[in-house]
Structure 1
Amino acid sequence: MTYRVIQTKTAFKYPEGKLWGPYAEERDAQGRVSLLREHDGDGVIETGEFGAPCGVMASV
């Protein structure tokens, strides 16, 4: 199972609807949602089979 984030509120230069991931670990998807929220955005996490996971987010 993998995780992905669907952006639900514009943040950075990306509009709502942008997909982030897939991530192998839920904590990485949660990190993306946290980062979006820090920049006045938001997102929701979906689980499923979305292909090969991307690399892990680097800690900032």
Structure 2
Amino acid sequence: MNISKYPDNVPEYEYFRHYPYIIRSVRTNYRQIPQLYFQFNTSLDYLNLIRAQNKVKN
């Protein structure tokens, strides 16, 4: 059983040819993570605000 990180039908140079694009996409994703985290947190705050208002109404 041959265990390798490359599938048998794809040569290694195919991976290294795409390597810069993979790194670039990872970089842009890391740049977007704080923004996504901020959006998620603000949406949670909004939900908690609505819950608090509903508790006050009831």
TM-score, structure 2 as length reference:
0.29
Structure in which a larger fraction of residues adopt strand? 1
Structure in which a larger fraction of residues adopt helix? 2
